[in-house]
Amino acid sequence: MDQKEFDKFIEKDDAFDTKKLLEGVDLSRVMEELDLEEILAEYGSHEAPPAPAEDGVWVNEGYVPKPVRPRKERSPRAAVRKEAPPAPEPPAETRPRQEETKEDPRPAEDAPARKASLSEPETWDPEPQALYEPPVPRQEPRGGVPLEDVMAQVVDAVMEEEEARRQVAQPAVRRGLFSRKRRRFEDTEPLYTPPEEEPEEPSYVEDARGEEEEAEEELPERDSGEATGDYHRRYKRLRRRSRPALLLALLACALAGVEYSGAAAGYLEPDAGMALHLGLLLIQCLLCLPVFARAVTELLHRRCQPELLVSLFALAAAADGASFWLDGGRGAQLPLCTVAAAALYLTMRGEMLRLRGLRDSCHMATYDQEPYIVTAVAGGFRKQSSSAEGFIRMTEQESEQRAWYYLLLPVILTACTVFAVLTAVNRFDLDNFFWYWSAILGAASSFAFTAAFGTPLGKLARRLQRDGCAVASYSGAAMMSRKGSMVLTDSDLFPPGTVFMNGMKVYAHDAIQAVSYASSLMTASGCGLRQVFDDLCRSQGGHTYPVEDFSFYQEGGVAGTIRGESVLVGRADFMAQMGVRLPREIKLKTGVFLAVDKELVAVFAVKYMASDNVDAALQAILHNGIRPVFAVRDFNITPALIKRKFRINTKKRCLYPELSDRLALSEEEYESSGRPGALLFRNGLMPYAEVVIGGKRMHGAVRKNCAWALIGSICGTLLAFYLTFVSGYNVLNPAALLIFQLLWSVPAAMINGWVSQY
SS3 assignment for 513-569: HHHHHHHHHHHHHCCCCHHHHHHHHHHHCCCCCCCEEEEEECCCEEEEEECCEEEEE
As a whole number, mean pLDDT of residues 177-181 equals 45
Q: Is the Cα dihedral 381, 384, 390, 391 positive or negative?
A: positive
As a whole number, mean pLDDT of residues 43-61 equals 46
Q: How far is CA 337 from the centre of its chain?
A: 55
Q: How far is CA 637 from the centre of its chain?
A: 28
Extended strands (E) in 7-67: none
- Residue 80 and residue 73: Cα distance in Å, rounded? 14
Q: Tell me the residue type at 234.
A: R
Distances in whole angstroms, Cα of residue 59 to Cα of each of 46, 55, 142, 329, 595: 18, 10, 11, 126, 81
Going by pLDDT thresholds of 50, 70 and 90, the confidence category of residue 647 is confident
pLDDT tens-digit profile of 446-504? 999 988 999 999 999 999 999 899 999 999 999 888 888 899 999 999 998 899 998 89
- Residue 331 and residue 670: Cα distance in Å, rounded? 73
Find out whether 453 and 352 touch, Cβ atoms under 8 Å: no
Classify 361 as helix, strand or coil. helix
As a whole number, mean pLDDT of residues 115-129 equals 43
DSSP one-letter code for 655: B
- Residue 650 and residue 655: Cα distance in Å, rounded? 7
Q: What is the pLDDT of residue 61?
A: 40
Q: What is the pLDDT of residue 571?
A: 92
pLDDT tens-digit profile of 529-541? 999 999 999 998 8
Q: Which of 155-164, 354-363, 649-658 has the highest mean pLDDT?
A: 354-363
Of 586, 581, 578, nearest in space to 603 by CA: 586
Find out whether 298 and 305 touch, Cβ atoms under 8 Å: yes
Q: How far is CA 368 from the centre of its chain?
A: 36
Percent of residues, the chain, with pLDDT higher than 90? 43
pLDDT tens-digit profile of 695-713? 999 999 999 999 999 999 9
Classify 690 as helix, strand or coil. helix
Q: Which of 145-159, 178-192, 247-261, 302-316 has the highest mean pLDDT?
A: 302-316
| Strand 485-488 versus strand 627-630 pairing type | parallel
Predicted TM-score (pTM) of the model is 0.68
Of 433, 409, 230, nearest in space to 311 by CA: 409
Q: How far apart are the first and last CA of the chain?
A: 98
Going by pLDDT thresholds of 50, 70 and 90, the confidence category of residue 114 is very low
Of 257, 278, 259, nearest in space to 267 by CA: 259
- Residue 698 and residue 754: Cα distance in Å, rounded? 9
Domain parsing of the chain, residue ranges:
224-485+676-753
